[in-house]
Chain A
Amino acid sequence: MTSREILTIQLGHYSNFIGTHWWNIQETNFSYDSDNPSEINHDVLYREGENLKGQVTYTPRLLLVDLREAVGYLKEQGTLYDTPQSEEAQQSLWDDTKVEVLKEETVNKSPFIKSLDESFESQNPTSSSLSLENNINSWVDCLLPRFHPRTLNVIKHHKHDGAMYPFGIFTYGRNLWNAEQFSDDFSERIRAYVEECDLMQGFQIILDSVDCFAGIGASCMQHLKDEYGKSIISFPCIDSKRTEHSASNMIKILNTALCWQHVEEYTSLFSPLCCGETAWPQIGDPRIFNHLTYNSELKYHSSALLATALDTLTIRYRRKEYSNVVLSDLCADLNKLGRKATATSLTLPFPITAKADLIDVLDDFEGPLWTSLTPNCDISMDKNMQSIVLRGISEERLKRPISHAMKQISKPAYRCSTVHEMMMLYLACTCHASATYLSNISSPLYIKSPYPKIFNNNITETGDVIGWPVGTDVQSVPVMAGLHSGNNLSAMYESLHSQLSRIRSIKKFHAFTDSGLEEDEFNECLNYLLDCKENYEDHYI
C-alpha cells in the first residue's frame, strides 16, 4: 500500500505553537502495539529516513519558519543527523591559532525539555509534575518530536519587536521571499521533500495572518501552485492574546485582508483560525467550551485547542482504511462556487456521558453541537457543506443489545448498526439543507503532557462527562471537528471589509507603501472581500 504523502509547512510564531501541539498529539497517539495498530496512517505526515550512522529516523515531513530568538535551543540541523566527529576529520581549513570565537549566550532549555532529555537518556519516562504554563515562552519549550535537518528555517534579519525593521508588515514578507537567497533555499527544501514522495496529496500550510509571515506564506503558496499544482489547504491563524487598541490593530487587519486575498487565489481551501470570538477590530472574548477552562491569553493554551481541531479534522485524509480518500476530495467537496473559505469547528470533548450510549446522548442533545474556531463567524446547523470527523466513539457504545434495549428500541436511530450510520442519520435530521461527509475512527485522542490541563474536573479519565468532580487527569477523550462552508462566512467577510474600509488612504501606512503596496492593490483587496461576501450569500426563492 502506498501512502499518499502530505508536506506540512508552518510559517510564523503562533503557527509553530499550533504545529508543535499537533506533532506532540500525533506522537502521543502513536501505537506501538502491533495487535492494535493505529487507525491513522502516520506515513502521510511523517517520513522515514536514515542518518549517517545508519539509524532509522521517523520525523515529521515538515518545513517551518521562525525568527531566530524564537527557536532558542534548537539547532538548525537538528540532533538526529549529527555525525561523529573524529579529530582527523577536523582538517585544517584554517589555522587554529587564528580563530576568534564570538559566542552568543547559550540558550537554556526549559525544565520540561530538560526532563525529556533526562528520561530519554535513562530510558524510563519520568512523570513530570512541572507547571508548564509559567515555563513556556516559545513553542520550542514544549516540543516533543525531533526534526530532520531540512525542517528548521530561521530568518536572521528580523527580530520580533525590532525597532529598525518591524516584522509586522505583509509586504516585507513578500520582499523577503523575493530576496533570492531565502526562496532558493526554501523551495529547494520543498523540492527535496516532494522528490521523496511517491504520490503526493498536497500541502498543508499553517501561517500567521497578522504579520510578515502572511506575506511569506502568500509567496510560498504561489510557488507551490505554479510548481506542483497539488491541492493546498491552509490555515491562516491569529493569536487570541488581547491587545490594547492601537494603530497596530489596523495594520493587523490590513495584513489579514491581504493574506486572505492571496491565500484565496492560490490555495484550494482555507480556514481562518482564532480562539477569540472576534479577531477584529480587537481580539474578542474567548470561545466558550462547556467542559473546558482555558486561558486564551496564553499561546500555549489556545494553540492546543486549534491543534486538536486540526489533528481531528485532517483524519479524513489520513486514514489507513480508506487510503484513496485524499485531500483533493475534501477540497473538491467544499470549495465550489468560489467558496474557498471554510469555518472550523471543534467539539472537545464530544459530550458523551458516562455509561450512556451514543443513541441516548444524541437524543438528549440540546444546543449547538459544535463551537466555531473561526473568528467573526458562528456556524449554524443548517445550509452547510461540511466535512466532519468524529473520533473516540467505539462501536460498543452505540446502543444496547436488543435484549437490554428498553426505551432505546423506540427511537428511530435504533436501527442503525454503526456509529457512522447513526451519526449520519442524526446529522441528516438536525442539519437542514446540508451535505455532510463524515469520517469516524474509534480510537480516542490520547492526551499526555505537554498538552495543557484544560479539562474541567467533571471529565473522567476516559473523557466521559459526569455530574460530579473527579480528581483524575484526563487520559483520553472523544473529539469531533469539522470544516463547514455555509452562508455564515459572509458575515466574516463583511465585518473584515467594514473594518478595512475604515482605512481611507493607504498612504498613511508608509511602511506598506514603501515596501511596494500600491493604492490599486489595496482597493482590489477591498473589492475582493466584497466579492467573497457575495459568494456566500444564499438566494433561495
Chain B
Amino acid sequence: MAAISLLNPKAEFARAAQALAVNISAAKGIQDVMRTNLGPKGTMKMLVSGAGDIKITKDGNVLLHEMQIQHPTASLIARASTAQDDVTGDGTTSTVLVIGELLKQADICISEGLHPRMLTEGFELARIKTLEVLDSLKILIEPTKENLINIARTSLRTKVHPTVADKLTEICVDAVLTIRQKNQEIDLHMIELMEMQHRTAADTNLIRGIVTDHGSRHPDMPKRVENAYILTCNVSLEYEKSEVNSGFFYKTAEEREKLVAAEREFIDNRVKKIIELKKKLCDGTDKSFVVINQKGIDPPSLDMLARENILALRRAKRRNMERLALACGGTAMNSFDDLKEEHLGWAGLVYEHILGETKYTFIEECKKPNSVTILLKGPNKYTLEQLKDAVRDGLRAIKNAIDDGAIIPGAGAFEVAASQALHLYKEKVKGKQRLGVQAYAEALLVIPKTLAVNSGFDAQDTIVKLLEERSTLGEAVGLDISTGEALKPTDAGIYDNYNVKKQIINSCTIIASNLLLVDEIMRAGLSSLKG
C-alpha cells in the first residue's frame, strides 16, 4: 500500500518498477510515432481531421502540436522537445528519439538490477564528455553565403522535397544576409512571411521590401506609383463619435449634427497636413506619395487623399510599421505636427496585386532594405503551411549558425564520434556509473541508425561501417543516405547547428534522468476539478 492511499483512497498510483515501466513505455510509444520522420528520406505524415482538414508535415514540432497527447509522460517529453524548438528552432524529432532510446537502454540495465541513481550519474558523466566531443568537432565559420547555404540546405531538405528545398535555401540565406546589421543580433521578425494562395511552391520568392495583405480602399487611388515617399504613421484619420455624449441629453437632432461637424473638422485638419506636405514635396516632380497608417482612414479622408493622387493604406500590421521604417527608412509618426521630409521613407516602386478578395501591396526597390519579405506561394492552404514551417526552420538554422559562428558535421557524424569517444572514456570510469556511460553511448547511435533505416538500409551494417571508418580515418564520418556507405559530411556539405546539438544533449539527459528517478506516480485530487 502506498502512503497516499491511506490519505486518499481514491488516488491511483503506480510504484517503483511499475512506475518506471509506465514511463518507459510512454517514451517508446512517442518515439515510435516520430522515428519514421527523421532525415531527408523520412516519411511525411498526413494528418486528416474528422472534418477532412489536411495537414502534411514531417516537422517533429508541428506533429507534436497537432497530436493531442494524453499520456502524462509522453506529454512531458513532447513539451521538452517543443521547448527545444522554441530555443533553437530544430531538433525536435531528435530529442524525442534520444530520450526514448536513453530510457530503452536504461531499461535493460535496470532489469539486471542496477539502481536508477547509478545510471543517472553515469549519464551525467557521459553528458559532460559528449559536450567535449561536440566542441572538438566544431568547425568555425565566417557567415558567408556558401557556408550558410550548406547549413540551410541540410535543414530544409529534411522538411520538403529537394527541388523546393534548394530554391528555399537560396531565398532564406539571401533574406538573412540582407537584414543582418553589423554588431546587432539578427531579428528574424524583420523577415515577413507572406502567404499567397496562388500558383505553385516553386514560385516562392524573396521581395526586398515589404508586401502587405491589404490595399487601398478607394477606387480612384493609383494602383501603381514610382519614386514614392512613404509616410508611415499611427494616427487615426477616422471620425469617431465619442461615448461621452448620451442621446438623452440633446434637445434636437440639429444640435447633435453641429457637434459632429465640429469634431469632423478636427480629422480633416490632419488630412490637410498630409496633403500640404505632399504638395510641397511632389508637385511638379515625378515623385509620388504613399501613406501607410496603422489606424483607420474613413471614406471622407480617403476621398480627400485620392483627389491628391495619394495612395493610402489603413490598418497596417503593427509589426509592419517597424519593418517599413527599416525597409524604406523614415520614422513612424504618432502625430502630424512638424511633419518634415526627413520623417518620410522612400521606395522605388509601389503596386497593387489583387487575388480574389485579397489585395496585396508590394513596396519594392527600397534603397537599403533592412527588412524583407518572403512571398510563399502554393496552390492550397496546407502546402502554404508546410512551406511556412520549413522556411521558418531554415531561417532559424541560418541564424543559429551566424550566432554560434560555428557548425558541426551532419549526417549522424557527431553521434558516431561521440559514441566512440564514450566507449573509450567508459574504461576510465570506475564503479557502476560505467554502465550508465555505456548505455548513453549506445543511445546516441539511435540517430544514425534511424537515418539508415529510413533510407532503406540495415541499421547494424551501417553502424558497423561507420564506426570502422571513424576509427581508421579519425575524422568525422557520416552516413550517405543514397548509398548506405560512409561519407565525409564536410565533402558533401551536410552540416548541423552547434547549439541544436548542444541543446539536445543537455535536455535529453535531464529529462531521461528525471523520468528514471521517478519511483511513484500518483494521480489524485483532479477529479474534484473536472468540469
Residues of A within 8 A of B (CB): 2, 49-52, 54, 68, 71-77, 81, 83, 85-86, 89-95, 98-107, 156-157, 159, 161-164, 166, 168, 188, 191-192, 194-200, 227, 229-231, 243, 246-248, 251, 268, 326, 328-329, 331-333, 335-336, 385, 435, 437, 511
Contacts and interface: CB of A to CB of B under 8 A. Distances in A.
A185 B387 CA distance: 17
B72 A164 contact: yes
A93 B46 contact: no
Given A83-B380, A195-B314, A333 B48 contact: no
Nearest to B69: A164
Given A230-B240, A511-B529, A94 B44 contact: yes
B244 A332 contact: yes
A194 B46 CA distance: 34
A93 B386 contact: yes
The 3 A-B residue pairs with the shortest CB-CB distance, nearest first, are: A89-B379, A248-B531, A195-B315
A92 to B, nearest CB: 5
19 contacts: A51-B356, A71-B51, A73-B50, A73-B51, A74-B51, A81-B356, A91-B379, A93-B160, A93-B378, A101-B46, A103-B48, A156-B68, A163-B526, A191-B317, A195-B314, A199-B296, A326-B241, A332-B243, A335-B243
Nearest to A200: B296
Contacts of B70: 162, 164
A199 B202 contact: no
A246 B161 CA distance: 55
Contacts of B246: 329, 332-333, 336
Contact of A231 (B49, B243, B357, B378): B243
A72 B247 contact: no
Contacts of B2: none
A102 B298 contact: no
A389 to B, nearest CB: 15
A435 B243 contact: no
A332 B163 contact: no
Given A52-B355, A91-B200, A326-B241, A85 B52 contact: no
Interface of B: 36, 41-53, 56, 58, 65-66, 68, 70, 72, 75, 160-161, 163-164, 197, 200-202, 213-214, 217, 238-248, 296, 298-299, 314-315, 317-318, 355-357, 378-381, 383, 386-387, 526, 528-531
Contact of A52 (B52, B197, B239): B197
Contact of A91 (B45, B201, B238, B531): B201
B45 A161 contact: no
B198 to A, nearest CB: 9
The prevalent SS among residues of A at the interface is loop
Given A85-B379, A335-B243, A198 B197 contact: no
Given A50-B357, A199-B299, A95 B161 contact: yes
A153 to B, nearest CB: 13
A195 B295 CA distance: 9
B379 A75 contact: no
Contacts of A194: 296, 315
Given A2-B299, A100-B36, A333-B246, A51 B530 contact: no
A356 to B, nearest CB: 32
B356 A52 contact: yes
Contact of A76 (B53, B214, B245, B528): B53
A166 B239 CA distance: 44
Contacts of A163: 526, 530
Query: Among B58, B213, B247, B387, which residue has the most Cβ atoms of chain A within 10 A?
Result: B247
